Amino acid sequence: MKNIKKLAFGLILVLGLATGAQAASGGGIAWDKAPGKTTDLASLQNGAKIFVNYCLNCHSAAFMRYNRLTDIGLTEKQIKDNLLFTTDKVGETMKAAIDPKQAKEWFGANPPDLTLIARSRAGSGGSGADYLYTYMRTFYRDDSKTTGWNNLAFPNIAMPHVLWELQGERQPVFEEKEEHGHVVKVLKKWEQITPGTMTPLQYDQAVGDLVNYLQWMGEPAQNTRVRVGVWVLLFLGLLSFLTWRLNAAYWKDIK
């Protein structure tokens, strides 16, 4: 009996520590929940526009074909007229405008491909969209960095705040708090140093659309997947019922 108690205690302790540890993974702050659903076509289209205008300059999305955007309600003509920046063929993939060698020289690291960024950044803190939503909204000026920017969700990142004109410059304000017996710095609020072209609400919405698009781009088939899944489960439910009665019809003979 002692062994069971010991094991049970150990198990609970380990679980408790584990959940605590995972809440602050990677050294950044806890993640906000990204608004928006990947079934909201308007949001996805706006997100696609922001992505193509702001991100594709340095980042590629090498596995994403332009013409796949027809899945979110755009026509090929709309794609060709508004979103085709780095190529002239709508069937091509989204390659970055920048030369990867130059990017490595300027930023110290080649800006990573973004096709799967949302899928790869998911974790116990939330979905990839949650992380990206937090990330794109927690940049602040930091003159000790080469780019002049730092980030609360990914401290010391080499990427500058690409959307700074929209959000303006902000500084985080911390306060000290007692937690588990020692003092920690907790984010109290943000101070707006210079205004952006968007209000905070508009900016949050725009970022919400952008990360929604990134979440969709990570797996464009996801909405079809769920739709087909409903039919499959309904069919299998029916099949299970029929085979259950078939089974019963035979087994009633066994005494």
Partner 1 sequence: MSDTPVDNSKRTWMIASGCAGAAGGIAAAVPFVSSMMPSERAKAAGAAVEADISGLKPGEKLTVEWRGKPVWIVRRTPEQLAALPKLDPQLADPLSLRKPGETPDYAKNGWRSRKPEIFVAVGICTHLGCSPSDKFTPGPQPSLPNDWQGGFFCPCHGSTFDMAGRVYKNVPAPDNLEVPPYMFLSDSKLLIGEDKKA
Partner 2 sequence: MADFKEISPNASAGEKLTNWFENRFPTAFYEYKKHMSEYYAPKNFNVWYVFGALSMLVLVIQIVTGIFLVMHYKPDAALAFASVEYIMRDVPWGWLIRYMHSTGASAFFLVVYLHMFRGLMYGSYRKPRELVWLFGCAIFLVLMAEAFMGYLLPWGQMSYWGAQVIVNLFSAIPFIGPDLAILIRGDFVVGDATLNRFFSFHVIAVPLVLLGLVVAHLLALHDVGSNNPDGIEIKANKGPDGIPLDGIPFHPYYTVHDIFMVSVFLMVFSAIVFFAPEVGGYFLEYNNFIPADPFQTPLHIAPVWYFTPFYSMLRAVTGEMMYVFIACVVAGAAFGVIKGKLSALMKGVIVVGAAAVVAMMLAIDAKFWGVVAMGGGVVILFFLPWLDNSPVKSIRYRPSWHKVMLAIFVVNFVVLGYLGILPPSVIGGRVAQLGTLFYFGFFLLMPWWSTIGEPKPVPDRVTFTAH
Q: Which residues bind partner 1 (CB under 8 A)?
A: 65, 67-68, 89, 91-92, 235-236, 238-239, 242-243, 245-246, 249-250
* C-beta neighbour count of 33 within 10 angstroms: 10
> Quick one: which of 86, 84, 92, 93 has its CA closest to 57?
86
Residue number, 187 or 238, with CB nearest to partner 2: 238
Task: Give the H/E segment covering residue 196.
Answer: none
Among 14, 42, 184, 193, binds partner 2 (CB under 8 A): 14
91 binds, among partner 1, partner 2, none (CB under 5 to 8 A by kind): partner 1
| Residue 195 binding partner 2, by CB under 8 A | no
Would you give the DSSP letter of residue 40?
A: -
Whether residue 82 contacts residue 50, with contact meaning beta carbons closer than 8 Å, is answered with no
| Residue 3 binding partner 2, by CB under 8 A | yes
| Residue 24 binding partner 2, by CB under 8 A | no
Residues 58-97 that bind partner 2 (CB under 8 A): 62-65, 68
Residue number, 67 or 86, with CB nearest to partner 1: 67
Q: Phi and psi of 197, rounded to 5°?
A: -75, -15
Three-class DSSP category at 129: helix
| Residue 218 binding partner 2, by CB under 8 A | yes
| Residue 5 binding partner 2, by CB under 8 A | no
Shortest Å distance, C-beta 157 to partner 2: 15
Cα–Cα distance measured from residue 155 to residue 212, given in angstroms and rounded to the nearest whole number: 23
Beta bridge partners of 179: 182
Cα–Cα distance measured from residue 213 to residue 132, given in angstroms and rounded to the nearest whole number: 11
Cα–Cα distance measured from residue 130 to residue 88, given in angstroms and rounded to the nearest whole number: 33
| Residue 220 binding partner 2, by CB under 8 A | yes
Cα–Cα distance measured from residue 50 to residue 29, given in angstroms and rounded to the nearest whole number: 25
67 CA to centre of own chain: 22
Among 58, 116, 136, 211, binds partner 2 (CB under 8 A): 116
Shortest Å distance, C-beta 130 to partner 2: 13
Query: Interhelix angle for 200-218 vs 128-136, to 10°?
Result: 150
Task: Give the H/E segment covering residue 110.
Answer: none
Whether residue 129 contacts residue 212, with contact meaning beta carbons closer than 8 Å, is answered with yes
Whether residue 44 contacts residue 38, with contact meaning beta carbons closer than 8 Å, is answered with yes
Shortest Å distance, C-beta 41 to partner 1: 20
Sole window of 100-108, 110-118, 157-165, 205-213 interacting with partner 2 (rule: CB under 8 A): 110-118
Among 42, 97, 184, 236, binds partner 2 (CB under 8 A): 236
Among 81, 180, 182, 248, binds partner 2 (CB under 8 A): 248
Sole window of 2-10, 138-146, 167-175, 203-211 interacting with partner 2 (rule: CB under 8 A): 2-10
**Which residues form the interface with partner 2 (CB under 8 A)?**
3-4, 6-7, 10-11, 13-15, 17-18, 21, 26, 62-65, 68, 112, 115-116, 119-123, 128, 218-221, 225-226, 228-230, 232-233, 236-237, 239-240, 243-244, 246-248, 250-252, 254-255
